[in-house]
Structure 1
Amino acid sequence: MTARPKVAFIGTGGTISSLGRDSLDILDYTATGNRLEAQAILDAVPEVRAVAEVVPVAFRAVPSPAIGFAEWRDLVKTCERLAAEHPDLAGIVIGHGTATLEETAYALSLTLTVDVPVVLVGSQRPMSALSSDAGLNLVAAIRTAASPHSRGRGVLVVLNDEIQAAREVTKTSVARLQTFRTPDFGVLGHVDGASVQYYRRSERSHAPGTPFDVRALDALPRVDVSYGYADADGTAVRAFRAAGAQGIVSAGLAPGMTPPREADALEEAAAAGIVVVQSTRAGSGVVPLTTRLRERGILSADNLTPQKARILLALALTVTREPSEIARIFATY
């Protein structure tokens, strides 16, 4: 009999760990405050034992809006410890709330020090709900982490039987099960039953081996996102400057433009030494580095969403403040 692969499961809370008032509570379940730790989640889905030898790892059981840099850093160190303690570890699965799942996935894809597959998984419906997607999503994620074909692909996101790249995926719907999408490029592969199949890979660089080491950091440099809209006058940009922002990401109008007064405020920020990166609120597409942006001293976020451009800019600022080098980083990762 073939030995089952060993997969670690780190529980961070979120909908996949939540228990509502009853089986029809699929929207207001967070009001109960009931969340399962990693071992209890595995106990609720005994089918995982047929897929892998799963090692539960308690972390935090919180809603994902409460997760940020401190948790990313501690997850990096936890994954490093697990890989050292279990030389036969096939992969790591991290249970996570869907609200910030894409941000944690991208942050880890830039900062992890381990080369085993790391898969983030969540659910749209709580564990207690009628027709919850939590159990099958967890099984699919464990299968993906255990697959030797998942190595070398960076951090992966698995929900709804689909495998997505951390850099590219985004949450597109509040409640639909197919919420996680990659608008420009589509999925990497599928999990159909026991079959984990890949059809493409992301070409951008990822951890391990990046220059971003967060293990000893207390915080990242402050980077804020200024959302573009008709009549935006730069008030937010000036407030971010006053708050000590070292970088600002403009979530501009497609294809990467801002109203005149907002543009003036961004130019003033760049002239003051704040690194300004132009993204777009459109949700997909590359922001072209136009003559207007170059003349204002503003960089392009490539096709990163504003929330992911913020992460990459903050990490870039831990290693350089040179605009040309930051531009290279955005073209690399």
Structure 2
Amino acid sequence: MTDTVKMTLDEVRALARSVLAAQGLAPAHVEAVAETMVAGERDGCTSHGLYRLLVCAHTIRAGKVALDAEPEIVESAPGLVRVDARGGYAQLAFALGRGPLAAIAKANGIAALAINNCVHFAALWPEVEALAEEGLVALAFTPSHAWVAPAGGTAPIFGTNPIAFGWPRPGRHPYVFDFATSAVARGEIELHRRAGKPIPLGWGIDAAGRPTTDATAALGGAMLTFGGHKGSALATMVELIAGPLIGDLTSRASIEHDGGANASPLGGELVIAIDPAGFLGGAVARQLDAAEMLFDGIQAQGARLPSERRYAARARSEADGVEVSAKLLADIQALLD
């Protein structure tokens, strides 16, 4: 048996949909959640691709997500769209709030989307990329479970607490970055554990607070922030603006709610959309050109822009399909047996 299996993106989509439906997820959620997994596989982000079917199945079986939740836009301030996800996955709530968010941003120059009471397991770049494709500058933030120790500490208090940013580039893919404020996404450590591979030093510590290269020990201890105190400060910011600011859970409250189920986090997400034309008026084209000069200057030095590898992987995947771990597919198939 080979280590990998070649799949088309349509086959990836069909597999994701069939597994999610078999787990009892409502059709609207099946479609929205599956697309994020397809995007992960398509763009070479395998830790956010089909592997997340195992994560979703576990969360569903633990009873930690509402299978048929119908997100609702609730009354809020004029420049704010607030969506109550009602305990469902974040994808459908974002889909509901995306249109009003973009419309308010284009009318007023800036707007925010607060998603409350959602279960989150995915990356944030699909959301900021979608808004940037509409010509908007976008930022997104979400806490998670308390898995990450603060700089100088030894006990988890932060989530992986990602930050994502999107910048529109007319005629090109948007400039997008999305990174955890932890040294690495938790899914990367889990993939190392599954493969029996050591993790690099600096990713995590064991339960006694000692540096470790053992993925299992790091998962049972604490992850670390990137950049020491700088990553720790950014993680704190995410906790505040996507937790208390929007009336939702911190990462510590989320893991307490989890009660040892090891399911996906419950909490909130904050998305900010900015319309360049609202700030610049008729000067918008000139300033977007200035941004392109910045990007050109970066690349002229041989440096890579964030997401370049993702976009290159996307082109390959759309043309040739993707290689998926045979062991992972066997584990996923077991969910259907």
Same fold by TM (over 0.5)? no
Higher relative contact order (CA 8 A, sep 6+): 2
Q: Which has the higher helix share?
A: 2
TM-score, normalised by the number of residues in structure 2: 0.28
Q: Which has the higher strand share?
A: 1
